[in-house]
Structure 1
Amino acid sequence: MKYSGGDIKRLGDSIVDNKGYLEDSELEILQEYRKSFIEPLATTFNKLVKIKNNVSKDGIIAFRLKRIITIINKVLRNPQMNLNRMGDIAGIRIILNSDDQVYHALESIEQEFELSGKIRDYIKDPKPIGYKGVHVYVKDPKYGKRIEIQLRTREYHNWSTLVEITDLLYSTRLKELGYENNPEFGEFHRLISSKDELSENQANQLYNILEKHNFIDKLSKTFRRNNAEVQKQWYAVSTRSRYFLIESSTDDVPKLTGFVNYDQAEEAYFNSYKKNSETLIVLTAIQKPTFEQISVAYANYILSYHTFIKDIEPIIKTLAIEALEQGKVRKFKKIFETYEELEANSLIHIFIGKGGLSVLRKKNKLIFSSSNKISSRKRKIIRKEINNELTTRMKNHGQFIKEIKSLINGMHPKSIFCRIFLKRNGKRLKRRLRNIQVEFEEYSD
C-alpha cells in the first residue's frame, strides 16, 4: 500500500477528529507506516549491538515498534503534533549496569550516528515521578527515519517496569501522564526511585500506600500464578526464535509466542490488534534471548518476577523493628505479614532461569524439566546453587527473627501475644524454606 507524507498527516488529524477511531483502510495505512521503520530499525539495532557489547557483554538490548494503541493515544494527547514527525515509533532500549556505562554508550552513539534532536538526560534531571534514563534520537542515513534509543541502568529499568506494572494492576496511566495521573501512586514511585535513605516518615508513607492498595499481596499472587506457566511457554519456543509476541493480562497468564521470521511476527501482532484493540500486547526482539533477559526487559508483560520484591524487603524489616520498639504490636503484625509474603515470593527468583530449565511447583516439590536430557552433573550443580541460596535466605531470616525476639523479651505484658504470633507465622516460613525438595522430570524423546 502506497502512502505519502500528506496521507500520514491526514491520518493523524483523523485520529484526533474521530477520538481514536480508525476505519479499516486508515488502520492499514498506519500499520504500513509502522512497518516502514523495520529495515532502518534493524540496521540501527545491529550497529548498537556492537556498541553495547563493547560497553557491557551482559547488557540487554531489545527493539520494538511502538504499539498501535500507544501511537493513537499519543496523538490524542498531543493533537497539534504531526504524526509523521513522531520520533519514537521505532525504539531500541539498552539496559546496562551503571551510569558510567550509560554515558560510555552515549558517547559511542554520538560518534557513530547522526543525531536528530536534543539528547534528553533524565539521569541528571529526573522526571517528577522519578524516571531516570537517557533518550537520544538518531537518523537512519538511508531512509531518513528517526529512531529513539533509550539508555538505562538495570536499576532505572526495574523502576520503570514497576510503574507499568502498577498501571496494569490498578488501571492508572502513570507512564503516559506522569505523577499527576495518580498523585498517591506517583509519590510511591518517586520515593522508591530515590537513592537517598528514606526517613522514618517517608518509609511509613511508602508502607501505608502499599497496605492501602494491598500492593504486595496483589503483585505476589500475580507472579506466583504466572511464573511456572510462562517458563513452560518460554521453553516450548523454538531456540531459533528471535522475535517474541507477549500478550499480558491482569486476569490470565501472559501468552508468549516466538517467531523466527519478523514479518510473520508483525502479522500476528496486527491480527491480534484488529481482533481486540484493547489487548495489552507487544512485539519485541532481543539479542541472544534467555528467559532471564526477557523477564527483565519485559517484566511488565511477563509478570512473573520483579526485583521490587527483594528491594523493598530491608524497608519492611526496618519498619517491623521500629513498630516493636514503639510498642505498636498490631502494626508490627501487619508489617510482619507483609514481610512473610515478600519472602514467599522471593523464593520464585531462586529458580528463575536455572540451567535453562522450566520449573513447576507441586506442594513442597519443585519439578525441573527440559526438552533435552539433564545430565547428572548438571543436576548436581543446580541442586548446589539452590541449596546455597536457600541457606542464605534461612540465615537472613533467622537473624531477623533473632532481632525481633530480643525486642519482644523486653515487652511486658504484650510479649506473650507477639510470641504466639511469631510461633504461628515465623515457623511456617522457616518450614517452607526447609521443606522444598528439588526433583527432575524424567526425560523422554
Structure 2
Amino acid sequence: MPKHALRKKLRKLKFEAIVSQRLKRAPSILDKLDRYPQMKLSRMQDIGGIRVVLSSCDDVYKLVMKYKHPGFPHKLKNEKDYISNPKDSGYRCYHMVYEYSNSINSNYDGLMLELQIRTKLQHAWATAVETVGTFLDHSLKSSQGPREWLDFFALVSHAFSYVEKTNGLARFSDENQETVFKRVKSEAKRLDVVGKLMAFRQVIKNVTTDKRQGSIHLVVLNIADAQVTIRTYSKSAIGQASDDYMNEEATINAENKKQVVLVSSDSIELLKKAYPSYFLDTQEFLIQLQKIMSTKFLHKQLGLFE
C-alpha cells in the first residue's frame, strides 16, 4: 500500500489531503501487547501504516470506496468505521487493515498494514487528546488518565459530531445539541482548557532541523528540555534512520521521558501538519473549540438568528 498509489487516488478524486507514513513506537507496541495478552506481534494490525487527513466525511467515504474497488492488490482483512460508530472515548476515524502483497519482493507478503482516514476536525481532536496526555503523563488516547479529561474529550467529540453531521456518542443521546454545546463551554472553562493548551504551545521554544534533504524524518520531542529535534534522511539511508530511531527509543525511561517517531513526509511543513502533537500544536482544535463555545455559532448551527 505505497504512498504513491494513495496519492494517485487522491489526484483522481481531486482531494486536498495530508498524507504521512510511520512505524509504531516500540513503547506503544509493548503497551498494546500488555493490554491485549493474546495478541501476537506478527498479527498486530498497525505496526506500520498510512494516515490520510481529508477535508470532510464525504471525502473520507469516497476514498474508502476507492480502496474497496476490485483490482486493488492487497487483501482487506478488517475495517472499522469509527466515524459512524465512534469509540466511547470519542475517537473517530475510518480504519482499514490490509494484508500486504508485493509482486516484486515476496518477503513482505502477509505484513499487516493499516490505513487511517480521518477529517481535519477529527485530526484536531486526536491531536489535542495526545498533547494533553503528554503533559498529564497519561495515555488519554488509550482511555487512561484523569476521568474529568477523558469525559471532556468525549463530550467535545460528541459536539463535533453535530458540526460534521455524523453519529455521536451513545452516552449523550439523551441531550440535545444546545445542551451539549453549553456543557462543552462550562467544562472547558472549569478545566481552563484554552489557557492550558495555549500554554502548551509555548512550551516548545526551539525546533531544531538539519539541512539534509530527504523524505524520512526522525522526530524527537523532549518535554523536559522544551525541545523538538528533527533529523532528515534520504530513502537510501533508511537503515541509518532505523538504527537512530531504535537508539533514541532505548534511551526512554521514567526519568528521561520523550516521544520519538520515524515518519515519511515530503516536507517538514507537511510533517508538522500530519503530526502536530509532536510539536504540541493544538491551534486547529482551539479554533474549533472556541467556535463551539460561541453563542453565535450555536445559533447558526440551530438555524436561529440573534
Of 75, 79, 100, the residue aligned with 1:115 is 75
1:57 CA displacement: 4.7
Give the aligned CA root-mean-square deviation in angstroms. 2.5
Contact 2:220 2:258 in 1 (8 A): yes
| Alignment coverage as a number of residue pairs | 269
**Are positions 1:76 and 2:34 aligned together?**
yes
The corresponding residue for 1:250 is 223
1:303 aligned partner = 280
Determine which of 274, 277, 286 is the counterpart of 2:250. 274
The answer to whether the 8 Å contact 1:246/1:254 transfers is yes
2:227 partner SS: coil
**Secondary structure, aligned partner of 1:93:** strand
Aligned CA distance change for structure 1 residues 262 and 162 (closer, same or farther; 3 Å): same
Give the conservation status (yes or no) of the 8 Å contact 1:52–1:94.
no
Paired position in structure 2 for 1:89: 47
Aligned to 2:204: 226
SS in 1 for 2:46: coil
Q: CA deviation at 1:307?
A: 0.6
Instruction: Give the drift of 1:159.
Output: 1.1
Deviations 1:265-321 (A, max 9, x none): 2111111111225431111111x3241x222211110114421221222344539xx
Q: Match of 2:204, SS?
A: helix
Deviations 1:224-283, CA, capped at 9 Å, x for gaps: 3436x33xx35x543x22111111243312222222232222111111111225431111
Tell me how far apart the structure 2 counterparts of residues 279 and 307 of structure 1 sit (CA, whole Å): 23
**Structure 2: which amino acid aligns with 1:222?**
F
Q: Structure 1's 246 and 98: CA in aligned 2 closer, same or farther, altered over 3 A?
A: same
Aligned to 1:386: none
The CA distance in 2 between the partners of 1:263 and 1:217, in whole Å, is 42
Q: Alpha carbons of 1:273 and 1:107: their partners in 2 closer, same or farther (altered >3 Å)?
A: same
- List runs of 5+ in structure 1 lacking aligned partners: 1-42, 320-402, 404-445
In structure 2, how many angstroms separate the alpha carbons of the residues matched to 1:188 and 1:250?
A: 24
| Equivalent pair of 2:20/2:271 in contact (CA under 8 Å) | no
3-state SS of paired residue (1:58): coil
Partner of 1:189: 153
Q: Which has the higher strand share?
A: 2
Partner of 1:133: 93
Distance in 2, matches of 1:201 and 1:155, equals 21
> What letter is aligned with 1:254?
V
- Alpha-carbon distance between aligned partners in 1 of 2:114 and 2:284, rounded to the nearest angstrom: 26
- 8 Å Cα contact 2:22-2:50 kept in structure 1: yes
Which of 173, 176, 195 is residue 139 of structure 2 equivalent to? Answer: 173
TM-score, L = length of structure 2 = 0.79
C-alpha distance in structure 2 between counterparts of 1:150 and 1:172, whole Å: 23
In the aligned structure 1, how far is the partner of 2:51 from the partner of 2:138?
Answer: 23
Q: Which residue of 2 aligns with 1:150?
A: 116
Q: Which has the higher helix share?
A: 1
Deviation at 1:105, TM superposition (A): 1.4
Is residue 263 of structure 2 the alignment partner of residue 284 of structure 1? Answer: yes
Distance in 2 of aligned mates of 1:174 and 1:225: 20
CA distance in 2, matches of 1:106, 1:171: 34
Q: Which amino acid aligns with 2:260?
A: I
Cα–Cα, structure 1 residues 305 and 56, in superposed 2: closer, same or farther, change >3 Å?
farther
Give me the identity figure in percent: 26
Any unmatched runs of 5+ in structure 2? 164-175, 297-305
Q: Does 1:66 align with 2:24?
A: yes
Q: CA deviation at 1:121?
A: 0.7
| Alignment partners' CA distance in 2, 1:74 and 1:147 | 16
Partners of 1:60 and 1:297 within 8 A in 2: yes
Distance in 2 (CA, whole Å) between partners of 1:139 and 1:312 is: 38
Q: Deviations over 1:59-109 (max 9, x none)?
A: 111111111111101000011112221111111111111122212211222
Following the alignment from structure 2 to structure 1, what is the Cα–Cα distance between the partners of residues 286 and 162?
19
Separation in 1 of the partners of 2:179 and 2:64?
A: 38
